[in-house]
Amino acid sequence: MTRALAILCVLSVFFVAAFGEKAFSAETHTALMAHDAWAPPSLDGANVGVAFTMLMNHSDVPIEITALSSPVAKTVELHDHVSEGGKVKMRRVEKIVIPAQGTLNMKPGGLHLMLIGLTQPLKDDSTITIDITAKGSAVQKVSFTVSQARLIEALKSRSNSAHEH
């Protein structure tokens, strides 16, 4: 019995050394990727900011985001715009799940990260970091480029699509 246990331990160590954590975890931080992460500069004296990205799930299981944080804000939340009684309102999204092999696309006028209680202004041509934690995974630090040009591009794009019939 002791010999069998010893062999099992050696094989387990070999298995982990050969294949790493991926051998035991369906959800790894590499399964979640951020693409095109950016934020517009904050207005002078503003207490809030926004950020946008596309989160891609390259795994075969849904990924649940359990925490968002950033050194530039006291709180980071995912928000969406919803229509109520003919008015568009912003609402916090309580549960963030990215479907297997799916994406969560954040863009102006839709889903976005709300940076609440800014600890510093978001300055054009700078970079901020937002930490994204998924259930069962390590924290993933995502760099967001602060860009006035991207904001102007996004506003023009929304304006053009609003005029198309």
Strand ranges inside 40-101, DSSP E = 48-57, 63-69, 73-84, 87-92, 96-98
Domain residues for 80? 27-158
Residue 28 pLDDT greater than 50, yes or no: no
Give the span between the Cα atoms of 165 and 160, in whole angstroms: 10
Model confidence over 130-157: pLDDT tens digits?
999 998 888 999 999 999 999 999 888 7
Within a domain: 113: yes
Within a domain: 150: yes
Q: For residues 145 and 73, is the Cβ–Cβ distance under 8 A? A: no
Q: What is the CATH number of the domain that holds 49?
A: 2.60.40.1890
Q: For residues 123 and 50, is the Cβ–Cβ distance under 8 A? A: no
Residue 10 pLDDT greater than 60, yes or no: no
Model confidence over 39-78: pLDDT tens digits?
999 999 999 999 999 999 999 999 999 999 999 999 999 9
Within a domain: 19: no
Give the pLDDT score at 12: 39
Residue 156 parent element (H or E)? helix 148-163
Split at pLDDT 50, 70, 90, the class of 3 is very low
Give the pLDDT score at 137: 84
Within a domain: 10: no
Model confidence over 53-63: pLDDT tens digits?
999 999 999 99
pTM higher than the cut 0.85 = no
Within a domain: 78: yes
Q: Identify which of 64, 139, 141, 54 has the alpha carbon closest to the alpha carbon of residue 99.
A: 64
Question: How many structural domains are present in the chain?
Answer: 1
Within a domain: 14: no
Model confidence over 82-129: pLDDT tens digits?
888 888 888 999 999 999 999 999 999 899 999 999 999 999 999 999
Give the span between the Cα atoms of 41 and 55, in whole angstroms: 21
Within a domain: 165: no
Residue 145 parent element (H or E)? strand 139-146
